[in-house]
Amino acid sequence: MKLKDIKTFVVGNPPPGNGGRYFVFVKITTDGNVSGVGEAYSVPFEPHLVAKMCEDVFHRYMAGQDPHHIEKMWRRVYSAGFTQRPDVSMMGIMSALEMACWDIIGKEAGQPVYNLLGGKVHERLRSYTYIYARPEDKVNVYQDPELSCIRAAELVKQGFTAIKFDPAGPYTAFDGRQLSLQELDLSERFVRMLRETVGSKADLLFGTHGQMTAAGAIRLARRLEPYDPLWFEEPVPPDAPEEMAKVARGTTIPIACGERLTTKYEFARLLKEGSAAILQMNLGRVGGLLEAKKIASMAEVSHVQIAPHLYCGPIVGAANIQLAACTPNFLIQESIEQWQGFHSEILMKPIRWEAGYIIPPTEPGLGVELNEAVANAHPYTGTALHLDMTQDPA
């Protein structure tokens, strides 16, 4: 069995656009006409160029190879261009191609990927969602604690037992910084009112996207501690795990981070510094399923848990689910609400979500199939990045 062809899809995500402006999917086919799908997460170039990068890396390093030879192909891609270091763009590309290989391997074996990575540990996976805005909202849901409390109550009624939010923005290319007193007050009021609304029915997950210095993060954390959040997410930028460790030592709230990191080498620094209690690798960026499984095992040794990150499409979501299902130190999985709307339409069969939990699929491979007719009907024609930051200091 040899890898033969690749097809890419740059798919626009219709309103409300939860999960990003677009998704970049790949479909790889073998000489035996078995296909697998993958997805790249937030490679920092315009998406049609990202699709070309996927094609280039496939033809340069993977075409004609046996899809089982993950380690061999991974090392060649990791070392491409005499780099041999964590590269967020290259590993985003590799992640998409690697998960497509696992999809093929699982289909050939007639097994879900989780059975090939150690076997299913969890029959169902606890999930959480962001509080997302509704089209009818007249104000920013993260600037209005009362509206967020209404949304949180709705999500708890649906079955969610954990809810994430980020009232401290904006995110700027010049972070980390000290939050203003007004931002500190709003953040504290948000958490206090949400705790009063949900009580002990749901955990509160406070997101920050690396906005603060370590000193500023500790200052905010002390305001939040009385309301017992499950985690304080990425309080400082991801380039200095030793600064993240200062925050971890300075608060009782567990630190979660990792969505912007890639490969075992970067996560090893987090573990060495004691920077986090919860690792949030994104399967569309971290370097693929096998790389994420290695990181999860490294974390297990340190009694650190994983909570795979998701702000993209459902193919990465499906890969996250395969990893989570076979990982003993899994904590919780990010969902885009209940995987409804376009996240359901883009798949031939939607991801199964029941009363706050994801049910791992039993189908072989990743357990999902891309609906190519829907993908082709929603091309993204713009050149924006998947995510971006404010370009001036806050």
Q: At what angle do helices 314-325 and 289-301 cross, to 10 degrees?
A: 40
**Structure tokens belonging to residue 241:** 């795990």
Residues 96 and 129 sit within 8 Å (Cβ to Cβ): no
The pairs formed by 359-363 with CB atoms below 8 angstroms and a separation of 24 or more are 359/123, 359/124, 359/125, 360/112, 360/114, 360/120, 360/122, 360/123, 360/124, 360/125, 360/321, 360/322, 360/324, 360/325, 361/112, 361/318, 361/321, 362/112, 363/112
Q: What is the DSSP letter of 12?
A: E
CA distance 234 to 210: 5
Q: Report the candidate in 284, 340, 292, 280 with the shortest Cα–Cα distance to residue 315.
A: 284
Q: How many CA atoms, within 13 angstroms, populate the side-chain half-sphere of residue 173?
A: 6
Residues 9 and 354 sit within 8 Å (Cβ to Cβ): no
Amino acid at site 290: L
Please pick, among 59, 68, 69, 309, the residue that the annotation labels catalytic.
309
- Give the Å distances, CA to CA, from 1 to 31, 67, 274, 332: 6, 8, 43, 36
Which residues are paired to 348 by β-bridges?
A: none
Three-state secondary-structure class, residue 224? helix
Residues 24 and 54 sit within 8 Å (Cβ to Cβ): yes
Q: How many CA atoms, within 13 angstroms, populate the side-chain half-sphere of residue 302?
A: 20
Which residues are paired to 161 by β-bridges?
A: none
Question: Among this protein's residues, is 209 annotated catalytic?
Answer: yes
Please pick, among 209, 343, 378, 386, the residue that the annotation labels catalytic.
209
Residues 182 and 207 sit within 8 Å (Cβ to Cβ): no
* Residues identified as active-site: 209, 309
